[in-house]
């Protein structure tokens, strides 16, 4: 029985190893671009955006976007109140909190967090603090980690159908061995898509709801 179990375990290990190798080979060729450019149009994925100048040569650049059926003014309040201990990140809170980030996504505009200014620092438990580097009201918000390895830009582009909300992450991966870089590519990149897609849809839902509210209820 033990021999049979060992052979069965060996077969499963071989299948698992083959699947991992297959994923490692297929991801860069077939899936990576889609993962890093979810929701974007071809021009959006490569166009210069505010914040690009803060990290000229990233190891990873992910640009993701969504159309929001609302004006920039209905999106902006949700962006400026983001953060731990603030409005959250509008994604899967339970996953964020497993990582100790203490995120609680707000479903309403929080007046106490609307006064964000350049130079403000947003703490990130178990991660680098983010400094507000650029704040162009209803157009662009750019954050940079204090260690300089991450720049996160949000850009609002009005269109005839509403507003394009574009999120771009520019990241430098610390010097690590190739297996760790491969793990980042196969696990962290797809994981970031899952979280950011939820975040963009969360902002979309909240902004469209805010845009439908009476004018008197909208923030000034």
CA distance linking residue 75 with residue 47, whole number of Å: 21
Q: What is the CATH number that goes with domain 37-217? A: 3.30.530.20
The 10s digit of each residue's pLDDT in 71-83 is 999 999 999 999 9
CA distance linking residue 105 with residue 201, whole number of Å: 13
Q: How many helices (H) and strands (E) does the chain have?
A: 7, 6
pTM of structure: 0.83
Strand order in the sheet with 130-136: 60-68, 162-171, 150-159, 140-145, 130-136, 121-122
CA distance linking residue 198 with residue 202, whole number of Å: 6
What H or E segment, with its residue span, contains residue 142?
strand 140-145
Residue with tokens 């983010």: 130
Encoding tokens for residue 122?
């947003």
Contact 51, 168 (CB under 8 A): yes
The 10s digit of each residue's pLDDT in 103-126 is 899 999 999 999 999 999 998 877
Question: Looking at residues 127-133, what average pLDDT do you find?
Answer: 91
- Domain residue limits, the chain: 1-35, 37-217
């Amino acid at each position: 029985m033990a021999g049979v179990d060992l052979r069965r375990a060996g077969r499963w290990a071989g299948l698992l190893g083959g699947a991992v190798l297959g994923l490692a080979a297929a991801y860069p060729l077939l899936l990576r671009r889609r993962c890093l450019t979810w929701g974007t149009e071809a021009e959006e994925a490569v166009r210069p955006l505010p914040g690009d100048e803060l990290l000229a040569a990233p190891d990873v650049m992910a640009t993701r976007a969504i159309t929001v059926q609302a004006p920039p003014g209905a999106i902006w309040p949700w962006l400026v109140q983001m953060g731990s201990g603030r409005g959250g990140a509008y994604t899967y809170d339970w996953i964020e909190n497993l990582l100790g980030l203490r995120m609680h996504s707000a479903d309403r505009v929080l007046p106490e967090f609307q006064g964000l200014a350049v130079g403000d620092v947003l703490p990130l438990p178990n991660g680098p603090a983010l400094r507000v580097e650029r704040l162009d009201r209803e157009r662009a918000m750019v954050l940079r980690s204090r260690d300089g390895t991450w720049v996160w830009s949000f850009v609002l582009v009005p269109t005839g159908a509403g507003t394009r909300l574009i999120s771009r992450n520019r990241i430098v991966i610390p010097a690590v061995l190739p297996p760790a870089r491969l793990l980042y590519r196969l696990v962290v990149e797809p994981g970031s898509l899952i979280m950011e897609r939820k975040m963009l849809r969360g902002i979309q839902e909240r902004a469209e709801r805010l845009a439908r509210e009476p004018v008197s209820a909208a923030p000034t």
